[in-house]
Amino acid sequence: MRQAQKLVRFLTIASLSVLLSSCSAFGFLFERLPWLTGWQTSKYFDLNDAQEARIEGVAEGAKQWLVTEGFPALITDLELAQQAWHKDPSAARISKLFGVLEFHTDKALGVLAPTVAPAMMSLEESNLTHFAQYMDEKKSDWFESLASEEEKEDLRVERLERWFGDLNDDQVSIVREHVSLIPNELAIRRENTDHWVGSLIYHIQQNDQYAVQLWIASPSVWWTTEYTELRELNRMQITVVLQNLVPTLSPKQQKRASDEVADWVETLEDVVEV
């Protein structure tokens, strides 16, 4: 129950989680749920008591939509995806699951953005300075896997193993064969983060609430062209990895993926019942 309560509290301000979404070194959508549970607004903006109270007020209102509409719809689609995986454990089914998660995340951001944007307009210069410094300091941690091709491959293997369980040597070789470090990838990700953070700060300073709302609802609007192209290349890499890896999965590994989705559903059901 305590985990469910934490999930409610932080997911009710999920639209602000886009502060991290462009910094995901891999972007596996199925990691987004646990990733959000540890999110804390004050960590990014160093909020004072009054600001925290306002955010909590926004969260309480957003909670009603998530609990009554957002999460129940997501639960239904996750259960359908799990059933489809049981019938046909294929790379196409995983791609479909990614699409389901992306659709519901985008929908939640769009619904919550009009409520969250006014609260963000109350951020002061000290909050924005703290935010910029925090993001700058964190870039090294977020992109450490891009220091070399081997480290990027290791991260891919690690995240796939969270999903399927331990991979055997042949399966690890499949991942390494189809993963590569894209030229200037580290620099492109750093520049995109700077651009994205700078866009938010600029529009708050300009008192442009519409732009801030768009920044929350459609974060990709503020991505650089180079990052957008890079993201697509990385998506193509993982598509090829899955096409070659999934046919080699053992029944145990297939069940591990199904159990992972079942855990999400159980957590969300606990939230809805709170």
CB 143 within 8 A of CB 186: yes
Per-domain boundaries in the chain: 2-273
Q: Report in angstroms the alpha-carbon separations of 79 from 47, 55, 66, 129, 258.
A: 38, 32, 18, 43, 10
C-alpha of 187 from chain center: 21
Note the pLDDT of residue 133: 92
Structure-token match 């609260």, residue found: 119
**CA angle, residues 263, 268, 273, in degrees to nearest 5:** 125
Cα separation of 114 and 210, whole Å?
9
Note the pLDDT of residue 274: 58
For the beta carbon of residue 119, count every other beta carbon within 10 angstroms: 19
Least Cα distance to 21 among 183, 217, 208 occurs for 217
C-alpha of 7 from chain center: 14
Tell me what the pLDDT averaged over the chain comes to: 82
Q: Which helix (H) or strand (E) holds 5?
A: helix 2-11
Could you tell me the end-to-end alpha-carbon distance of the chain, in angstroms, rounded to an integer? 8
Least Cα distance to 27 among 79, 107, 131, 105 occurs for 105
Q: What pTM, to 2 d.p., does this model score?
A: 0.81
Cα separation of 182 and 140, whole Å?
18
Note the pLDDT of residue 42: 67
pLDDT in tens, 44-87: 788 888 887 777 777 777 778 888 898 899 899 999 999 999 99
pLDDT in tens, 152-190: 999 999 989 988 999 999 999 999 999 999 999 999 999
DSSP character string of 160-193: HHHHH----HHHHHHHHHH--PPTTHHHHHHHHH
For the beta carbon of residue 82, count every other beta carbon within 10 angstroms: 19
pLDDT in tens, 187-209: 999 999 899 899 999 999 999 99
Side-chain-side CA neighbours of residue 257 (13 Å): 27
